[in-house]
Structure 1
């Protein structure tokens, strides 16, 4: 029987593509909203996976090896093919499609696993997603529905809560083979942090009222994307905070475990907001009702 092909390491390929186009790990990091060492590490993992060198670490700019040139060309050709396909699909339904603006982490971990239910019930409603990961200056007027995080929805909109913030520390099961630890032991562990305005103080929120101080994280333990943070947690790099509604499927599946039984609820959460343009899209109200009613499902 023929073996199935190994899945492509897409995060590593994305890091290589950015570095190849910019001829710089630092510039690639800025483009991907991560630090330079993270790009270099992902490229090194890709080189190990392929068994070839892709770059010569020359200065002031990186130099592609022949193998790197071949891969960069293949990625460029593939991206052009994908863009063509996407453009065709978008051109068919763009005028009628309902546009939902949402953060990448929420879309990946909460919305997409549930979207099949909505599409099965409402196949006539076309939904486009605009993700704004790392971009806090998104224009809400460019969408029909916006999913935002905070203590309330967007001012001047009809908003409903989707679910509240429930902070739970999680890690790879191999990191704590003896099970969850005490909050005192947790405070001494390697803690992974988010490095954006909404979540930079999450660990301080978690330990508030315990009398325990949160150590200043090392630069390598600060992540600029929740999806990058989640990958580091899954790899066993350290312990990170998750929102129970977004990580409970992974906890149930055993790919993550609860690192400490202390769970903290805050006044914040995710909110679904109807924008003015939604009045012209009948499907927007249906989606709004569904998403705001799916909390805890």
Structure 2
């Protein structure tokens, strides 16, 4: 209707975040990777912001974007604002970490070993609060942002107090109906459909298992390579094939009868799971209590 003002679209934090990332990187594509979205989403959010302020913020030049004078001015302001927000969130997170013991742990270890035993810890130590930060595909975590880290390998984290929770003991597992006549021989196992992990830490697990036997695991089909151990375990439980499990992590399922040992050969490697107490948490009583409990929990 004539004389009425056009409604103003509300300003969104997504628009500010998209502009801030694009301004820092001078690229919509790099900003999209940082924000874990598609490139058109960043471009659209910036366009909406330009529409809201009524001025162009970027010149779409190649190979890199160019900020307009208005864009330069806004980038300085949003950069300061985003930094203030991050500092505020870090401060809030630090206060939370003072109240709870923060444990950084892989999702598979947390689900299969830690959580089934956590009730026992809470019954013993009801005053100790624990917060878990799980990781799976992203193995590049910041040890300074946790009190305790559970890591896999031959050793723990350098510069921290470490204890081995348990050794890696490889055991082939499958659903019971795959084994109508009981556990397989090594020869029969090597000819079976074997599920592999593509995670670099575990891509050679079947080679480790067959080492010294004169047998080799068959080359897996692409669909039989899975990155996440929890996805691999689900495939095993669905009857897709035989996968390697770690004792202590699959023992409960074997005892319950939901999984069966596919071959009686068990292989122990030099690797294992380590509980690492960060130097910044060494004098925190709650962190020390959880560290002592977890590092001795495999014998419980």
TM-score above 0.5, yes or no: yes
Structure 1 residues 208-219: aligned runs within 5 Å: 208-219=211-222
**Secondary structure, counterpart of 2:103 in structure 1:** strand
Instruction: In structure 2, list runs of 5 or more residues that go unmatched.
Output: 1-35, 37-92
Cα 1:92/1:142, change in 2 over 3 Å = closer
CA–CA distance in 1 between the matches of 2:282 and 2:154?
A: 25
Matched-pair contact (CA < 8 Å) for 1:167–1:206: yes
Q: Give CA deviations for 1:86-114 in whole Å, capped at 9, x if unaligned.
A: xxxx9995531110000000000000000
Q: Give CA deviations for 1:167-217 in whole Å, capped at 9, x if unaligned.
A: 000000111121101001000000000111110000000000000122110
Q: Which residue of 1 aligns with 2:179?
A: 176
CA–CA distance in 2 between the matches of 1:113 and 1:136?
A: 23
Deviation larger for 209-218 or 249-258:
209-218
Q: Which residue of 1 aligns with 2:60?
A: none
Structure 1 residues 1-297: aligned runs within 5 Å: 94-297=97-300
**Secondary structure, counterpart of 1:129 in structure 2:** strand
Structure 1 vs Structure 2 CA RMSD: 1.6
Deviation larger for 224-233 or 278-287:
278-287
Structure 1 residue runs of 4+, over 2 Å off?
A: 90-95
TM-score (norm. length: structure 1): 0.68
Matched-pair contact (CA < 8 Å) for 1:93–1:126: no
Matched-pair contact (CA < 8 Å) for 1:245–1:296: no
Larger radius of gyration: 2
Matched-pair contact (CA < 8 Å) for 1:180–1:261: yes
TM-score (norm. length: structure 2): 0.67
CA–CA distance in 2 between the matches of 1:213 and 1:95?
A: 50
**Secondary structure, counterpart of 2:102 in structure 1:** strand
CA–CA distance in 1 between the matches of 2:95 and 2:145?
A: 19
Instruction: In structure 1, list runs of 5 or more residues that go unmatched.
Output: 1-30, 32-89
Matched-pair contact (CA < 8 Å) for 2:159–2:279: no
Distance apart, 1:271 and its partner CA: 0.3
Q: How many residues align?
A: 209
Q: Which residue of 2 aligns with 1:38?
A: none
Distance apart, 1:276 and its partner CA: 2.0
Matched-pair contact (CA < 8 Å) for 1:165–1:265: yes
Q: Give CA deviations for 1:137-174 in whole Å, capped at 9, x if unaligned.
A: 11111100000000011111110000000000000011
